[in-house]
Amino acid sequence: MLQDTTLTGRRAVVTGGGRGLGRAIADRLAGMGAHITVVDLPGAPEDLPAGWDGVALDLTAPDAQGALSAHAARLSPVSVVVANAGVVPPWRGVETLDRAEWDRVMAINVWGVAITLGAFAPALEASGHGSAIVMASINGYRAHPKQVLYSASKHAVIGVMRAAAQDLGPRGIRVNALAPGAIATDALLSRIDTRHAAGGPTREDALAGLAGETLLRRMATAEDVAGVAAFLASDASRGMTGHVFPVEAGLV
Where in the sequence numbering do the catalytic residues fall? 150
**Exposure string for 90-101, b = 16+ CB within 10 A, e = fewer:** ebbeeeeeeeee
Separation between Cα atoms, residue 167 and residue 202, nearest integer Å: 46
DSSP 92: B
Other C-beta atoms closer than 10 Å to the C-beta of 142 total 13
Number of CB atoms found within 10 A of residue 104's CB: 15
CB atoms near residue 10 (< 10 Å): 22
Instruction: Specify whether the CB–CB gap between 44 and 56 falls below 8 A.
Output: yes
